[in-house]
Amino acid sequence: MPLEAVPTEITDDLFVSDPFDANKADEITAPSVSFGQEAFQRLLKNKGAVLSAIALIIISVMAIIGPSMNGFTYDAQNITHTNLPPKVAGLEWLGFNGTDVNGVDQYAERSITTNYWFGTDEFGRDLWTRVWKGTQISLFIAVVAAGLDLIIGILYGGLSAFYGGRIDSMMQRVIEILVGIPNLIVIIMFILILEPGITSIILAMVITGWVGMARIVRGQILQLRGQEFVLASRTLGASNRRLIFKHLLPNTMGPIIVTVMFTIPSAIFFEAFLSFIGLGLQAPLASLGVLIEDGYQAMRFFSYKLWIPAIIISAIMISFNLLGDGLRDALDPKMRK
């Protein structure tokens, strides 16, 4: 049986248009979202990151309002209320009333209903106030140190990668020298030179803390510097300042944000470690490291002095790490579906 002839010309009658309902146009088109909106949506799907963010918000709010919730100050001492366990009313001594006819000393006393929610320390200081004041100071030190690392690291790493050549080589030699020296030794030596305090701890952390940020920024900008959009912008006459702040730095914000989220718990750990070995804050100031060191000394008989600040510092560090992991996945373009 002969085959039908195959038409050699393509005519309009060979095509049949697919019926299309204009009212359903919105059902097959997705709304346009920016990279930031999409990253935020991916972050919300990460339950660990969301719970960590909520925990950090709660701890930060308590660090601000907690010290003023029960009327005590972090350095107020009451020797008659020493080493009280959490939520136990104390006994207030009104003073010496003299001696009676038998020569026995007489004291006036009365019971009070004030509860120390976290108990008291060996000097009768309210641990609730000291714990949240210490959390406030530890977070302040960590955030300021991380912010200074961010500024110095972006400027140093960005300029080194952008100009390259001999300038980059010289700047990298400085970083290699700092990396070769253990940062813990540098921090301890710096604090020994200066008087221990909040300012000296922050400066000690910043001396070597910015190196990691600078290397990350340099690596990112070296990748972006040869991209087509940078070459096109340079061809159109864009200045170096515009190239850096409008094109290069915005495209490196993802790794920068993730690095900052991991820098903050590291700074909290260093502050706690320095305070634990006696090189951090000095009495009567309180930080989580100071409170853990005090609790360690009395751990055998008054374990609540150690467990309360230990739980808080653990929650802070775990939350920052989980949030950093969530941000790393959310800001990664490869995770886009």
Write the pLDDT tens digit of every residue in 102-136: 555 454 444 445 577 888 888 888 889 999 999 99
Which residues, other chains included, contact 307 with Cβ-Cβ below 8 Å and sequence gap of 6+?
A: 295
Average pLDDT over residues 54-74: 89
Higher pLDDT, 64 or 10: 64
CA distances from 269 to 56, 246, 272, 274, 316 (A): 16, 35, 5, 9, 10
Please say if the pLDDT value at position 258 is more than 80.
Answer: yes
The verdict on 183 and 271 lying in the same domain is yes
DSSP bridge pairs for 105: 99
Residues 92 and 191 in one domain: no
Instruction: Provide the pLDDT for residue 21.
Output: 60
> Do 247 and 330 fall within a single domain?
yes
Look at residue 38 and tell me if it is in a domain. no
Q: In terms of domains, do 108 and 152 share one?
A: no
**From start to end of 53-101, where are the E strands?**
89-99
Q: Are residues 100 and 156 in the same domain?
A: no
Same domain, residue pair 92 and 220: no
Contact yes or no for 200/236 (Cβ under 8 A): no
**pTM of the complete model:** 0.76
Q: Are 199 and 308 members of one domain?
A: yes
* Residue 226 CA, distance from chain mean position: 33
Tell me, yes or no, whether 235 and 148 share the same domain: yes
The residue among 140, 126, 80 whose CA lies nearest residue 308 is: 126
User: What is the number of other CB atoms lying within 10 angstroms of the CB of residue 240?
Assistant: 11
CA 129 centroid distance within chain:
22
Q: 183 and 241 share a domain?
A: yes
User: Would you say 304 and 284 are in contact if contact means Cβ atoms under 8 Å apart?
Assistant: no
Asked whether the beta carbons of 296 and 309 are under 8 A apart, the reply is no
Q: Provide the 3-class DSSP secondary structure of residue 93.
A: strand
Tokens of 170: 């010289």
Instruction: Tell whether omega for the bond before 31 is within 30 degrees of 0, i.e. cis.
Output: no
How many domains in the chain? 2
Confirm whether 159 is domain-assigned.
Answer: yes
Band (58; pLDDT cuts 50, 70, 90):
very high
Q: Is residue 134 part of a domain?
A: yes
* 20 domain residue, yes or no: no
CATH of the domain at 255: 1.10.3720.10
* Same-domain status, 136 and 56: yes
Q: Based on the fold, state whether residues 212 and 276 are members of the same structural domain.
A: yes
What residues are paired with 110 via a beta bridge?
Answer: 92
Residue 22: inside a domain: no
Does residue 290 form part of some domain?
yes
Name the residue range of residue 98's domain.
83-115
Instruction: Say if 39 falls within a structural domain.
Output: no
Domain-located, residue 29 = no
- The pLDDT-based confidence of 94 (bands split at 50, 70, 90) is very low
Give the pair of three-digit tokens for residue 90.
Answer: 């104390």
Tell me the average pLDDT across 225-248.
Answer: 79
* pLDDT score for 139: 92
Residues 212 and 108 in one domain: no
Q: Can you point out the beta strands (E) in 169-217?
A: none
Interval 296-313: pLDDT, tens: 888 888 888 889 899 999
